[in-house]
Chains A and B, each alone.
Chain A
Amino acid sequence: AQTVTQSQPEMSVQEAETVTLSCTYDTSENNYYLFWYKQPPSRQMILVIRQEAYKQQNATENRFSVNFQKAAKSFSLKISDSQLGDTAMYFCAFMNLLSNFGNEKLTFGTGTRLTIIP
């Protein structure tokens, strides 16, 4: 069974600083996707960034980038020049790719509550 571990329940940083959220996962599969989702207070969850396991290049989306270490099964999220609007719960998620449908699912970590301090 796949598991996703986020070891930092809460983090806080000053505005404009850089912060890294950690995520590790456990799987015996070779083909999978990894995601970071953001859930702002009282607002809908949105995708921050995604990474396909077969791609060696780390994904980036503006101020958001990942450090994907496939051998170590690590998928950390770096937020540069943090802004007040980055305050949210961040979930790391894993999606396995199987040859047959039926058992594919998104597995989420427990989340990291990030607070950006003005």
Chain B
Amino acid sequence: KAGVTQTPRYLIKTRGQQVTLSCSPISGHRSVSWYQQTPGQGLQFLFEYFSETQRNKGNFPGRFSGRQFSNSRSEMNVSTLELGDSALYLCASSLGGLTDTQYFGPGTRLTVL
């Protein structure tokens, strides 16, 4: 069974731009969650989608948004990029939600210049 895939793997943007990251979950998984990993703040939960609906949300500003499609693939969008948005963005999929084993993707490394 294929694992969680994330595209692109690396991205360089400038301040003020917007970016869209993509995550393809393991087949059959209906929950996709997103995380931001930085050296300073560590791993922080962004949000979780389940069956095309945002079910849980962390403490991030509205510039961070996401969506999930009927095939469970998910996208995360960050608008008006700031230098502090530079991070490794991880997505994870699971069968039923955050209490289930999370299967993580390799991440997208975003650099904001």
Chain A positions near chain B (C-beta within 8 angstroms):
33, 37, 44-47, 50, 91, 95, 97, 101-111
CA distance A107 to B33 in the complex (A): 13
**A-contacting 9-mer, from B11-19, B61-69, B73-81, B95-103:** B95-103
B interface residue count range (under 10 / 10 to 19 / 20 to 34 / 35 or more)? 20 to 34
Residues of A within 8 A of B90 (CB): 45
The 5 tightest CB contacts between A and B, nearest first, are: A108-B43, A45-B104, A105-B45, A104-B56, A47-B101
Task: Collect the chain A residues with CB atoms within 8 Å of residue B48's CB.
Answer: 104-105
Can you list 17 A-B contacts with CB-CB less than 8 angstroms, sorted by A residue number? A44-B3, A44-B104, A44-B105, A44-B107, A45-B104, A46-B103, A47-B102, A95-B98, A97-B99, A104-B97, A105-B48, A105-B56, A105-B58, A107-B45, A108-B44, A109-B42, A111-B42
A104–B57 Cα distance when bound, in Å, is 7
Contact A44 B55 (CB under 8 A): no
Cβ of A14 to closest chain B Cβ, rounded Å: 28
Question: What's the Cα separation between A102 and B104 when bound, in Å?
Answer: 21
Task: Select one of A46, A103, A106, A111 contacting B33, CB under 8 A.
Answer: A106
Asked whether, in the complex, the Cβ of A102 is within 8 Å of the Cβ of B45, the reply is no
In the bound assembly, the distance between CA atoms of A42 and B12 in angstroms comes to 19
Given contacts A45-B90, A46-B104, A101-B55, contact A110 B42 (CB under 8 A): yes
